[in-house]
Structure 1
Amino acid sequence: MTLDTATPVAEPRGFDAWQDSICDTFVPLHAHCEGHAADDFLGGVDSTSLGAVVLAEVSASRAVVERTPKLIRRADPELYKFGLQVSGDCVIEQNGRQAHLRPGDFAIYDTSRPYRLRFGDDFRMTIAMFPRSLVRLPEKHMAELTAVRLAGDTGLGSLIAPLMRGLGADLGGTRPVIATHLGDAVVDLVTAAFAEQMQRPLEEDSAGAHRMLVAQASKFIDEHLTDSELCSKTVADAHFVSVRLLQKAFEAEGMSATALIRTRRLERCRRDLVDPGCRHLPIALIGHRWGFPDAAHFSRLFRNAYGASPREFRKANGLAA
């Protein structure tokens, strides 16, 4: 796959400044340069926010970056980082696996688990970082796909690579609501790409039946989020199973129906809060129409999910509360 490598990156800086930048942009990390003295090191970091997604272009000379158990204990925001190799090469290590990336390849890794990235000379990587909760796939299956090389010139990868390269070019003037939708598009495509990797023939056993039930129930939940009566029982009744069986199926995939309903509703509220077309709607009304009739409870849940109250979030995105 041929990538456009003409996108401008941040002005090169020395090693200490570069390490500070990657820590400020992503999560606390430990880095060191290889093959040359730190005095000769040049690196750049350029980033922008797309709603809940941080998109960054990172470049440098030969370097090693690590996320250690000690750093994870200090701060664990539970994020995924999705890296597209633009130039040079990189080896990502996590969960006992190694992914050797060359231009056009990509891989995902988890900030809640130790990892190591070893970069070759004059590398460039575009990285999207976002909350793990936005990836609507079982975490136990995602854990099997971290540090696994995926090609960017086949399947859904051929759609993701040019999108990320294009977004990394220049988004300084993008309106918040457009940026949020673009970030959602990145997460949706990444999710689809890894769902594609998870596909297996459904065996005629309980595990296969459970996966099918979870898929059908998740679709039903998405289609009925505005229903104030939506809960585990209504989902179970709609699929002619007991609540206990529904819970067992979701637990087998590392989640719960109740948590999924809450997460999807909060996502819809987040989108409305940065949509200029909804600026006239009171915050309480936005919460109510997506299934949160208690304004105080909605505010607490939203702050827990996004680190700011709905009012603060709307104001930070340029819309009056």
Structure 2
Amino acid sequence: MDLTYCLESSELPISGTLGGRRWRDVLFPIFDVAEDDAAVPSDEFSVWATQRGALSMGQGGPPELLRIPRVISGRSFDQIALCLIRSGTLSLETQGHRRLCTAGSILVFSLRYPFRLAWQNSEAARSHVTLWLSQGRLNGIPDDRVHGRVLASSAAVAVFGAALQTVAEEVRRTGQQVLDDVIEGVAALSLNLLTADGKPMDAATSELASFVTIRNYIDAHLNAHDLSAATLARTFGLSRASLYRLFEPVGGVASYVRSRRLERVRETIKEPGLLNRRIAPVAYGNGFKSIASFNRAYRQAFGESPRQSRRGARQGPAEARSADPMGLLARGLMELR
């Protein structure tokens, strides 16, 4: 896998090789990727990031990506992505709805919500260019009116796609100021596209709102030991089938609750003022009933033990950053303002 990653304004671009590395090292925690999903020689991924926007290009890569909203080191990710499909067909599944995005079309999604991306034919050629923008750049367009949009081939989409590809092709030869200016122009084009091209399906928007409501309830009751599918269905007057459909894109209700509990424990044990607090009571206080199962789940989710996370929090800023399992794409998105 060849990687071009731009972050420091005075060092654009930076190039390196990640042959044999796992895709998880590149995409986590923006996307969940199987632990054994390694790059192959034909895979490529590039990221250029400034405070005004980020641009990523990918060829090949994992056939499936799962988005579970996470908070890593106190930073959540809620950017908007406009993904131009250059080759292949990509599907987005969210709350029981599935949309296909073919070559030449643009898929729009928000990292605030859960979803699943899957290439329809993992053996066929597939590539994409994605513009990442902060929510504030969309001038008040609610992200739940953006998430899940497929902008099909049209004259306006063709202009936007051509602009995005031109930026991707020229970015290696430009500096940050030029990149900032170009991203500014492409972001303006995206605003026009999203404003003019209708609205997403009402049913999808309604179910998305339901998921957000239940998610907020889960976050407020992570310490409850009976935070189960049955409890949630009863609380919100839903059938279990409806609840399962809402949480299917993130692996189910139980998986989502466990992920949020793990993230809450991680935030707490790395909090500077709580570094002397014992880890076991924190785990019990966030709904875990067994320390052994908690430790296993924690290592599987974050690639390190709870004690290693705390040790990283006690290190200096540079060492702590290197100990954090923050993927390369996430580091780029952290630059956005």
TM-score normalised according to structure 1 size: 0.50
Quote the residue 2:316 is aligned against: none
Identity %, equivalent residues: 11
Select the residue among 4, 25, 34 that pairs with 1:20: 25
1-structure distance, mates of 2:79, 2:18? 27
> Structure 1 pair 156/10, CA: closer, same or farther in 2 (3 Å)?
farther
Structure 2 gaps of 5+ residues are 1-14, 200-332
> How far apart are residue 39 of structure 1 and its match?
6.1
Higher RCO structure, 1 or 2 (CA under 8 Å, sep 6+):
2
Q: Are the equivalent residues in 1 in contact too, given 2:86–2:103 (CA < 8 A)? A: yes
- List aligned pairs for 1:69-84, cutoff 5 A: 69-70=69-70, 75-84=75-84
Select the residue among 29, 32, 51 that pairs with 1:30: 32
> How far apart are residue 158 of structure 1 and its match?
1.6
Deviates more, 1:103-112 or 1:173-182: 173-182
Quote the residue 2:315 is aligned against: none
> How far apart are residue 143 of structure 1 and its match?
1.3
> How far apart are residue 82 of structure 1 and its match?
1.0
> Can you list the C-alpha shifts for 1:177-197, whole angstroms capped at 9, x where unaligned?
221111111211111101002
> Structure 1 pair 155/97, CA: closer, same or farther in 2 (3 Å)?
farther
1-structure distance, mates of 2:57, 2:16? 8
> How far apart are residue 65 of structure 1 and its match?
0.8
The one-letter code matched in structure 2 to 1:29 is F
> How far apart are residue 21 of structure 1 and its match?
1.8
2-structure distance, mates of 1:38, 1:49? 25
Secondary structure at the aligned position of 2:171 is classed as coil
The one-letter code matched in structure 2 to 1:147 is G
2-structure distance, mates of 1:10, 1:91? 30
Quote the residue 1:157 is aligned against: 157
Secondary structure at the aligned position of 2:195 is classed as helix
2-structure distance, mates of 1:90, 1:72? 27
Q: Are the equivalent residues in 2 in contact too, given 1:72–1:112 (CA < 8 A)? A: no
2-structure distance, mates of 1:168, 1:192? 20
Secondary structure at the aligned position of 2:185 is classed as helix
Q: Are the equivalent residues in 1 in contact too, given 2:81–2:109 (CA < 8 A)? A: yes
The one-letter code matched in structure 2 to 1:170 is E
Secondary structure at the aligned position of 1:116 is classed as strand
Secondary structure at the aligned position of 1:146 is classed as coil
2-structure distance, mates of 1:87, 1:307? 28
Q: Are the equivalent residues in 2 in contact too, given 1:11–1:44 (CA < 8 A)? A: no
The one-letter code matched in structure 2 to 1:124 is S
> How far apart are residue 116 of structure 1 and its match?
1.3
> Structure 1 pair 40/128, CA: closer, same or farther in 2 (3 Å)?
closer
Q: Are the equivalent residues in 1 in contact too, given 2:105–2:150 (CA < 8 A)? A: yes
> Can you list the C-alpha shifts for 1:194-249, whole angstroms capped at 9, x where unaligned?
100248xxxxxxxxxxxxxxxxxxxxxxxxxxxxxxxxxxxxxxxxxxxxxxxxxx
- List aligned pairs for 1:1-321, cutoff 5 A: 13-14=19-20, 16=22, 18-23=23-28, 28-32=30-34, 38=37, 41-42=40-41, 43-61=43-61, 63-70=63-70, 75-119=75-119, 120-121=121-122, 122-139=125-142, 142-152=143-153, 154-198=154-198
Q: What RMSD over aligned residues (CA atoms) do the two structures have, in Å?
A: 3.2
> How far apart are residue 88 of structure 1 and its match?
1.4
